Amino acid sequence: MERFIDVTPEVRLWAEERGALDAPPLLLIMGAQTSGLGWPDELVDALAVRHRVIRYDHRDTGRSSWAFDEAPYALTELAHDATAVLDAFGIARAHVVGMSMGGMLTQLLIADHPKRMLSATLFGTSALSTAPYVRPDGTRVPPEELPGIAPHVLELWARPVEDHGLEAELDRRVEHWRALGGDELPFDAEAARDLERGIVEHTGHHTAGTAHARAGTADMLRTEQLAATDVPTLVVAAPADPLFPPPHPHHLAQAIRGARLKEIPGMGHALPHEVLAPLAAAILEHTDRH
């Protein structure tokens, strides 16, 4: 079932739920500039066997309001959008799964709204913490010295985004997913194109969004809150992630009190078919515990 949620006079969010209404709720929070349809149906359906699964379009993606130029916002406001979605569905507490920027927003929920959380699952993201990463040999590494984004991704992001029509935009998005997916699993260009064509049809246009890259990033750190949380947290490690490569997941698991770490071999910063079954299994094993 689909619905629209009015968050502010300027912002309306699109959301969808699947699964039994009396099943434990599970909220999916996608990454920057990506529609909720970035969560593949195969994964959503696998989770909906045991959960009431909700996915939604961030502001300036999909069918939600594209209003950044008229009403700029900080990234922290996107975490408030997540709680507004839960409110709209009448959900007091939920399991929350966040990918990339969605993983950062989930950390904000862990820190600022722990009573709304049954559990958290994070991947493809970095810790909102100044705590050092402690290597197995005891060496302490400041977060700013952890590996950065791969040069080939930075080069891709530096290119100007111009509108040369639908097919050219789909080409650009497929190239982007190829770069994000890493080099350990085969890349299915046709599947990536089908996903993005579906997102374009869902959105109603093929404009490339830039709002999340321009949104304010102040007040994101939650070092103390993450270190003291009681929210059961699973960190999924993606060894081929070119944005937040190891040891970022290990640092994240150290920064969040009590977090567990689960690696999915070959996984990059994307959701190809090969990782969906092990990812669903990891999420469901975690939510079953809590």
Is residue 25 within 8 Å of 91, Cβ to Cβ? yes
State yes or no: is 126 an active-site residue.
no
- In the set 51, 176, 212, 269, the catalytic residue is 269
- In the set 35, 64, 65, 100, the catalytic residue is 100
State yes or no: is 65 an active-site residue.
no
How many Å apart are CA 14 and CA 2, to the nearest integer? 7
**Other Cβ atoms closer than 10 A to 71:** 13
Is residue 185 within 8 Å of 268, Cβ to Cβ? yes
- Adjacent-strand bridge partners of 121: 97, 234
Record the tokens describing residue 145, joined without a space. Answer: 């010295």
State yes or no: is 100 an active-site residue.
yes
Give which of 258, 248, 200 is closest to 226, Cα–Cα.
258
Strand 52-56 to 12-18 pairing: antiparallel
Residue type for 167, please? E
Helices 76-88/101-112 angle, 10° precision: 70
Q: Which amino acids are annotated catalytic?
A: 100, 241, 269
